[in-house]
Structure 1
Amino acid sequence: MQACEVAALILLTVVSCSRQYEELPQTTLTLEHPFPEIFTGETVTLRCGVEGGSAGWKYLWYKDSEDTPVLQTAGRSITGDSYTITAAAVSDQGQYCCRGQRKNRPSSSQLSNPVTLTVSELPKAVLTSSPQWGELYTGETVTLSCGVEGGFTGCQYLWYKSSQGGTVQIRGTTGARYTLSPVTQSHSGEYQCEAQRGDPPRSSQRSDPVTLTVSEGRPKPALTREPAGEIFEGDTVTLSCVVEGGSGGWRYLWYKDRQGAPVNQTDSSSGTGAGYTISAAALSHSGEYWCRAGRGRNTSYSQYSDPIWVNVTGE
């Protein structure tokens, strides 16, 4: 055999070996879900792609290890290049990989990089009221706000009210805030909310209830005086105004000699909150006193208290 023929045979052998051990196609695995967080009961799809196109490939799926193939079970299906979990559970958490396989050369692709699937339990909605007064009176305004812990994003909100007639969904509002203005006695009851997202919709856990109690009309403060007996010049006198029921948020207004005539704030007399103090009584402090309370951005006033008489006697 001539030298050039030997060289050609060697070259052919090298080329053949090179083709036999050519690099396998790369494989890409992607997670398809409309939100960054995945919660139990939601649908999630993993999609496998082979470099150069998907023609002729079928796909093998693995979870946590290449020795652990993914099997099709109820709610978990392999269709073409996708693996779909229709109702994710915490047990579906783990690292997933895939590779392509076919009869033609090359017979398989590379193993994809792993994709971590994290599935969390459904979060619970949190419901708050503003202002937090406990007891409301007709004509006032209250806003209920619904939030969700744990990153349950992209939501609309469902609202519920429970009363003696049972629990009903409140129609016509899907925002995170629900404002009642002005409130009436019919608004009394327990309120709850939940967040909903996705298609098909998936709801968070329902919030703990917030109770609203609405009383008819306006409250009437009780006005008292200390000391209750005779008052002399130089004595300290304290008037106290209390709204029955103990509801919060009140600021107090003080009047002397007639309703609507504010008291004069002087060095010897001042009103702070629910109390009005005369630190050095003078004859000029004698007269009738009233109080009333107001609260809220659009101030809602109580009734006037019954009057109380302050009679200062000279020494």
Structure 2
Amino acid sequence: MIPPARQKPVFRFAPSPNGRLHLGHALSALLNADMAKATGGRLLLRMEDIDIGRCTPEFERAIYDDLAWLGLTWEEPVRRQSEHLDDYRRALDRLIADGLAYPAFMTRGEVKARAAQSEAAGKAWPRDPDGAPHYPNDERYLAASIRQQRIAAGERHVWRLDMERAVASVNTALTWVETGDGQTGEIVADPRAWGDVVLWRSDAPSSYHLSVTVDDAVQGITHVVRGLDLFHATSVHRLLQTLLDLPAPSYRHHRLILGADGRKLSKSQGDTALLELRKAGRTSDAIRRLVGL
């Protein structure tokens, strides 16, 4: 009997075309490409362009130019999140039908004010790993008729995951396999640390958490290689994968490239942009050395 062919590992680099790539992006892209080559795997490219207010075709073209200059090649077609909103909506609708998502009407400013008021009174307010205050749980328990009235009246809202109900509905331990530059081995997920995360909003329809979870499944990603700043977010992704019956890839969260001030690089720091480094005479080989490869 001939054994079934082993599935090739599938990696992905998934930038947002809302600015120029910098050295941190170069590290992530090169690591994905190197690991795909070393394992005989595939490298996919995804444009996480749901934020239509900030993402532009010009930045997307610049990403292609920067990656080609680094010597990378990838499979076509490139997946653009803005072209697959129906995929994310179907996932959201399933969570709503299962009673795991609810419409939330408070703004970020209102949530921050409520948390600040509580903390000023000496009462702790839970915050997520990024430091943002958790959403109050009042609206989890609104009657369906009240929710419908408020939505019908045109009241602005987002859809949030009912974290307590979602976690309670899972009948298995949530873990992931980690091979990165921080903790390694089997990591126990802690999605409750994030509170009732946003799944869908009006200004950028699907949230990062929901869209990236769906995308990785649709694209058959077997290995997620990304920065350590997303390590804790993996807890939410593992929960959503379980709720939506999606496969779990292995994860490698790599070290971050820090600026002179010790902070993670951002696209607003033009001096670390690959374009500027190229203009200054740096070569692609020099970029590999700069990021420690």
Larger helix proportion of the pair:
2
Q: TM-score, normalised by structure 1?
A: 0.19
Larger strand proportion of the pair:
1
Structure showing greater relative contact order (alpha-carbon pairs closer than 8 Å, 6 or more residues apart): 2
| Greater gyration radius | 1
